[in-house]
Amino acid sequence: MFLFRRSQTRLTPQQAHARTADGTAVLLDVRETPEWRAGRAPGALHLPLTRLLAGAALPESAQGRPVVAICRSGHRSQRAATLLDARGIDAVDVTGGMNAWTAAGLPVVDEDGQGGRIA
The kind and range of the H/E element at 33 are helix 33-38
Q: Name the H helices within the chain.
A: 13-21, 33-38, 49-53, 75-86, 97-103
Catalytic site includes residue 90: no
Catalytic residue among 27, 67, 71, 89, which?
71
> Considering only CA atoms, which of 45, 49, 1, 51 is closest in space to residue 23?
45
By annotation, the residues acting in catalysis are 71
